[in-house]
Amino acid sequence: METLTFEEAFAQLEAAVAALQDGQMPLEQALHHYEEGMKLAQYCNDLLQKAELRVQQLRVNDEGVPVVMPFEAE
């Protein structure tokens, strides 16, 4: 889950809710959707709450290729 983007995690969260809403499934499967959904909600929440804007700067290196480096001029 740690590799999911917010958009992906949110889409999966929506899918979990939709699956539970459907309701026609064995308990084990429902529990799976529930646990997965709760984890995704927490993950989305954490992503949003703990996110810190990363600012980098584009430079052209000696080979003439654009590369990113930290931006400190703030």
Partner 1 sequence: MLFLDAPSVLSVSQLSRYLKELLETNDTLQDVWVQGEISGSRIYPSGHCYFTLKDAEAQLHCVFFKYARLRSAAPELRDGMAIAANGRISLYERDGKLQMYVDSIEPLGDGVLFLRFEQLKARLAAEGLFEIERKRPLPTFPLVIGIVTSPQAAALRDMLRVLRTRYPLVQVILSPTLVQGAEAPAAIANALDLLNEYGEVDVIIVGRGGGSIEELWAFNEEVVARAIARSRIPVISGVGHETDFTIADFVADHRASTPTAAATAAVPDISEWLADVRTHRQALTVLMEDLLVGLADELARTERDLQRQNPQYQLDRLHQQLDDTTALLQTRLQHILSLRGERLHGVALQLHSLSPLLTIARGYAVVRRDIDAVVVTSTQQVQAGDAITIQVTDGHIHASVQ
Which residues form the interface with partner 1 (CB under 8 A)?
5-7, 10, 13-14, 16-17, 20-21, 23, 27, 30-31, 34, 37-38, 41, 44-45, 47-49, 51-58, 60, 66-68, 71, 73-74
The three-point CA angle 72-54-70 to 5° equals: 35
Nearer to partner 1, 2 or 23 (CB): 23
Specify the residue, 1 or 55, whose C-beta has the smaller distance to partner 1.
55
| Residue whose C-alpha is closest to residue 2's, from 48, 50, 44 | 44
